[in-house]
Structure 1
């Protein structure tokens, strides 16, 4: 057996040296990423610590038209503001106290008081409410029939904006109009909880069912709660008003027929071109058209449809029924 001899040590015929491990080239982009991740972690830690020590915040959104109508009907037997006085300051304070009990670990952002005024010029009473601490008065318009216009859109704008910017965690909404459903849905989509507060209705409801379905909780204030803030004017004598409905409330079919009447008038004055623009939005109507429909229908019926969400739905159904037959 041949002995193995060590390989020559000279350069000639020497086996190749084992490859040396070269240091990995520097990766500055990885260092930058690591530093950015570290900064992000530090920021998240600070934010979480701040959130843990920051109390939640709530706001109260009051549809004054609803409050006047519902409280007046419950306590004074009438929705006519001229027939009674409302202690708005006392009622607002009662709402704040109630919210303090319901949200004990939350702070109040403010109370938003939504009302109507002719040409949006505030009355003396509204000015006094605006001067109350933690109260913001927002005015829509008031038409010739003393109906609020634009108030629901103000509520929607404020509620959605505050929820989107995480300015509130809870919203107490005092109102009843079905048009507020979209605002509730939007606020909830941004993580806010919406609590619907109402005033006891006599012989029915004064809040739309669709609104009751969407909110996170419901609360109703009864006669005992409202009575201290409503005082009937003893010397008040209502003026005779034309086209006032004194009989029983119209049926859904009656209101649906009126909706079709208004649709026929609307179509006759605007033409089929306007119909083609309206149909893609079915079953929703643009705000301006919906307001026109409501005003015209109330004039024909001699009845305010405020607080009658089911009749307003029937009205819109009748409006659409006629338009769709003409397409």
Structure 2
């Protein structure tokens, strides 16, 4: 039938987007507007295949295959079907299990049943090569979409690229319509005003400034109530220095 289907490997799509926008493939480094992303995928698939959309399949991993909030949002959207594999942690890293197999099965079944004339694959995994080749043998045109690589190189299996009927790149401008890098530095930045004890230290005068300020204070006091002269052990006592007028040093009292 003259319809198109989009199969999305969410781990690839969002991981590559995180690498492009945030410098590392951690999906926690980006925020995603899923409604805008799905609409963008639909519009681009229909424009490039010149076929109406049958469905978007969203393949992702989840702990114990339990739908996460983003999966619950996605699966109630029109023309979207969510397929979940397992998400396991090994050697400090998360890994999807069963996602490739599910994509391969769906790809093969769609082609065998002639449910569509064109299939868009958003993935980079070479494990899907047999399914891609099977779809082509059943007369389905396979369009392979890549996310722009952060280093300017390929981030897809070379065999997939070679076997696909068409290849397109979702560039930075397209990705940033729905995906943004999180400003993690802003969340950890110190408050603009330091704590009171730190503020007191920062506002204290330097030693030379403090000595000059003290000398000025002594001069001001002497002009009002008499000079202070040094006494024993550096102490001061009033009335021992020559009297100066209220004008302070450098000025002559009025006669």
Rounded to whole Å, the distance in 1 between the matches of 2:101 and 2:154 is 22
Q: Is the 8 A contact 2:23 2:150 kept in 1?
A: no
**TM-score of the pair, normalised by structure 2:** 0.69
Query: Where does 1:169-180 land on structure 2 (aligned, <5 Å)?
Result: 169-180=117-128
Alignment partner of 2:70: what SS? helix
- Residue 201 of structure 1 deviates from its aligned partner by 0.3
1:91 equivalent in alignment to 2:40? no
Count of residue pairs the alignment pairs up: 183
Rounded to whole Å, the distance in 2 between the matches of 1:224 and 1:232 is 13
- Aligned match of 1:119: 64
Query: Where does 1:198-237 land on structure 2 (aligned, <5 Å)?
Result: 198-203=146-151, 204-235=153-184
Rounded to whole Å, the distance in 1 between the matches of 2:48 and 2:95 is 32
- Aligned match of 1:72: 18
Rounded to whole Å, the distance in 2 between the matches of 1:184 and 1:103 is 17
Question: Which has the higher Rg, Structure 1 or Structure 2?
Answer: 2
- Residue 168 of structure 1 deviates from its aligned partner by 0.8
Alignment partner of 2:184: what SS? coil
Rounded to whole Å, the distance in 1 between the matches of 2:150 and 2:185 is 23
Q: Is the 8 A contact 2:4 2:46 kept in 1?
A: no
Rounded to whole Å, the distance in 2 between the matches of 1:161 and 1:122 is 24
**Distance of aligned partners of 1:236 and 1:164 in 2 relative to their CA distance in 1, 3 Å threshold:** farther
Alignment partner of 2:94: what SS? coil
Rounded to whole Å, the distance in 1 between the matches of 2:94 and 2:177 is 26
1:9-57 C-alpha deviation (Å, 9 max, x unpaired): xxxxxxxxxxxxxxxxxxxxxxxxxxxxxxxxxxxxxxxxxxxxxx611
Query: Where does 1:252-291 land on structure 2 (aligned, <5 Å)?
Result: none
- Aligned match of 2:8: 62
- Aligned match of 2:97: 149
- Aligned match of 2:133: 185
Rounded to whole Å, the distance in 2 between the matches of 1:194 and 1:83 is 31
Alignment partner of 1:122: what SS? coil
Query: Where does 1:293-308 land on structure 2 (aligned, <5 Å)?
Result: none
What is the RMSD of the two structures over their aligned residues, measured on CA atoms?
A: 1.6
- Higher percent of residues as helix: 1
- Aligned match of 1:139: 84
- Residue 233 of structure 1 deviates from its aligned partner by 2.4
Rounded to whole Å, the distance in 2 between the matches of 1:148 and 1:93 is 25
Rounded to whole Å, the distance in 2 between the matches of 1:65 and 1:149 is 11
- Residue 232 of structure 1 deviates from its aligned partner by 2.3
1:180-221 C-alpha deviation (Å, 9 max, x unpaired): 101101111111111101111022211010110111110001
Consecutive unaligned residues of structure 1, counting only runs of 5 or more, are 1-54, 238-327
**Distance of aligned partners of 1:172 and 1:91 in 2 relative to their CA distance in 1, 3 Å threshold:** same
**TM-score of the pair, normalised by structure 1:** 0.54
Rounded to whole Å, the distance in 2 between the matches of 1:214 and 1:207 is 12
Bigger relative CO (Cα 8 Å, ≥ 6 apart): 2
